[in-house]
Chains A and B, each alone.
Chain A
Amino acid sequence: MAEVPKKLTIPAEEHICSGHLACQGCGAVLAMRYALKALGPNTVYTVPACCWSVIDGPFPYTTLGVPLFHIAFEAAAASAAGLAAGLEMVGKEDVNVVAWAGDGGTADIGIQALSGAAERNDNIMYICYDNEAYMNTGVQRSSSTPWGAWTTTTPARHFKKRPKKNLVDIMVAHQIPYVATAAIAFPEDVLKKVNKAKQIKGTKYLQIFASCPPGWRMAPEYAVKSVRMAVNARVWPLLEVDNGVYTITRKPRKPLPVADYLRLQGRFSHLTEEQVEEIQQMVDHNWERLLFLEKSTHEMAGIPLEEKKKTKEPDK
């Protein structure tokens, strides 16, 4: 019996083809795929050293249906600024210029150029796909690696003892028009935010949580599940900051215990119960902080805070 076709919630059109070089279950590929569905063909990408400099394929191949300019590791934002200026001078200011970088290329080596572009409010979209480590070079810690995680430079017996760098607030502090987080387990939300960013002139910053099964020490089939759990355990809150006004775009009705999220991944398997509890407290504290920011920034801007309907779907 033929299946009743379901209504698609995101466009069917693809701007990325098969044959790329990503590992099985690569979250960074899904992030790219969804972002491109929103961006469409009138887009150019500039990509610094990261997994995506390999994923796109070796010379002379490419996986994307749009131009991809490769640039040095610390240079994504500045190259986007140059491309945007150049395209404007040749009369193509309507092109979406997107810097697409990993968390290392964003939070560490590329933060200076990113901060420069954001302070100038250059008309670019900067998307960081955050897999919480330097995956290209074999899972070394980045400043976006969370507290407690194993990496090859933070071995289990000396796991990372500093919290994940809060890039979202750093970008908000630049007073750019739009900052948002998204996650590959919520494609509609990724598209909505990229679509919104596309309409805005100035610097737009999006950070998309993207799993890396080999780097997170888990099976590829957990690629989407782990990210959904991160959001539903409030480890990775989905939010939007419009001109400084914070909105949490998904409020899990019954948050998952953080332990459930951690348990799926080998990179946290060394943690004791007490340490897991410590992480739970950090996560709860961050959530409270975000609720406070949401309330206070809405009040200051004189915008009523809509009580978002709590999610109906089971929080698994």
Chain B
Amino acid sequence: MKEVVTGNHVVSHAARVGRAQVVSAYPITPQTQVVEKISEFVADGVMDAKFIKVESEHSAMVACIGASAAGVRAFTATSAQGLALMHEVLHWAANARLPVVLANINRAMGPPWTIWTDQIDSLSQRDTGWIQFYAESNQDIFDSILIAFKVAEQVDLPAMVVLEAFFLSHTAEPVDFPDQEDIDRFLPPRPARNTVDPENPAAFGGLTGPDHYYELKYMEHNAMLEAKETIAAATQEYGDMTGRYYKMADPYRCDDAETVLVVSGGVASTAKDAVDEAREAGWKLGSLKIWAFRPFPREEVRALLLGRKRVVVVDRNISFGQEGIFCSELKASLYSQPEAPPVLGFIAGLGGRDIKGRDLLAMAKAGEDPDCPEFNWYGVKP
């Protein structure tokens, strides 16, 4: 069934049909409509869940951690300052190996106060041990959340689905909702292991010295690597159900492309238009959407990019003193590989400044100049 729904309400619906059992969240622009809708669902009884209306995002994540530890499917949503406030306990969820799912509406960090999009809030959580997916469209948001639940619960790691403020959160698009029976088949009740249960007393997360801690981290990293296979299997199954096949790194018209634009989130959709326009003019341009940021699709990126003339990465984020974060990740994946292409990084669209198709084409064009610096700010006003 297709319906025209805003990105935020898609998040709420995904939590509902994904049968989240405990939701705990705190309002923040641009995420507020997510929690408003879910509280209606729960109050109206169309969603069989408990909604814990906490006093902060820190407590929202902690309540999800507690609920998840008791064995249920837990969900929350936040943005920017809220996600940053959760930081300590994002580590806790991952290290406790709890498959909490979180939707983050990308919003730039203050000061100055801002509510518009960029990716630094979620990318700053890179090393917390969360799986991360970046959605391109409202359909992507819905599908990614269901896939996130499934993958998270199989590898016992939390997962974050990321969407852009306003460009997706407040924009209505047609979204296909699969039948509930199909969803239930794809996403059965959580196969919880090692829950907090008086019938099985144990301590969870107690003091651990150097003798054991190291191996726990090794296992956590391996779980993240295992998630690549789990994602492959889940996206295959999901594709067979819906006809929509997701890829951790998703190429568009890349077959013979000499220049590949690497993008993420909603910008990936703009990039497809831009590539079409370039192709019409005979320009061998392609684009590559990074859907899964953690685990990073290292092998896929290599297979798609080695041997190209150049790679132009558009980052809606900046790691001060270094460069765009997607750019660094790509370089790390390509470094010392045979036929590694030059990687040219562009910062664009911070704090919600629009990235239009013509901007993407201008960055791609600039990247084709042999004298193009390796790191660039696009469109800084004088």
Contacts and interface: CB of A to CB of B under 8 A. Distances in A.
B57 to A, nearest CB: 11
B253 to A, nearest CB: 46
Interface stretch (B64-72, B114-122, B244-252): B64-72
A240 interface: no
Contact of A112 (B24, B59, B67): B59
A287 to B, nearest CB: 34
A66 B198 CA distance: 6
Contacts of B203: 56-57, 59-62, 64, 67-70
B321 interface: no
Interface residues of A, number: 48
Contact of B74 (A86, A87, A119): A86
A44 B198 contact: yes
B22 interface: yes
B21 A54 contact: no
B69 A72 contact: no
Interface string A83-125: 1111111101001000000000000000011011001101000
B64 A70 contact: no
A294 to B, nearest CB: 31
A82 B200 contact: no
A85 B202 CA distance: 20
B58 interface: yes
Given A86-B66, A86-B72, A115 B54 contact: no
B330 interface: no
B39 to A, nearest CB: 13
Interface residues of B, number: 43
B212 A59 contact: yes
Nearest to A96: B198
A79 interface: yes
B232 interface: no
Nearest to A87: B70
Nearest to A99: B66
Contacts of B49: 89
A69 B60 CA distance: 17
B207 A82 contact: no
B65 to A, nearest CB: 6
B205 A70 contact: yes
Contacts of B52: 81-82, 85, 120, 122
B228 to A, nearest CB: 29
B153 to A, nearest CB: 14
A138 interface: no
Interface in B260-280: none
B63 interface: yes
B140 to A, nearest CB: 29
A265 B211 CA distance: 39
Given A53-B206, A62-B206, A69 B56 contact: no
B70 A86 contact: yes
B58 A86 contact: no
Contacts of A67: 196-198, 200-204
Contact of A82 (B55, B65, B198, B209): B65
A70 B204 contact: yes
Nearest to A90: B71
Contacts of B56: 112-113, 116
B204 A41 contact: no
A71 B92 contact: yes
Interface in A24-78: 41-44, 46, 53-54, 56-62, 64-72, 74-75, 77-78
Contact of B64 (A46, A82, A90): A82
B53 interface: yes
A86 B75 CA distance: 12
Nearest to A84: B66
A59 B206 contact: yes
B336 interface: no
Q: Could you say which of B22, B205, B206 has the most chain A C-beta atoms within 10 Å of its C-beta?
A: B206
Nearest to B54: A116
Nearest to A73: B88
B21 A89 contact: yes
B322 interface: no
B50 interface: yes
B327 to A, nearest CB: 33
B256 to A, nearest CB: 52
Interface in B165-198: 195-198
22 contacts: A41-B198, A44-B197, A46-B66, A59-B209, A59-B212, A62-B203, A70-B204, A70-B205, A71-B62, A71-B92, A78-B58, A81-B59, A82-B22, A82-B68, A85-B50, A85-B67, A86-B69, A89-B49, A95-B198, A112-B56, A113-B55, A113-B58
Interface of B: 21-22, 24, 49-50, 52-56, 58-60, 62-72, 74, 88-89, 92, 195-198, 200-209, 212
In order of increasing CB-CB distance, the 6 nearest A-B pairs are A82-B66, A86-B70, A116-B55, A86-B67, A82-B63, A78-B59
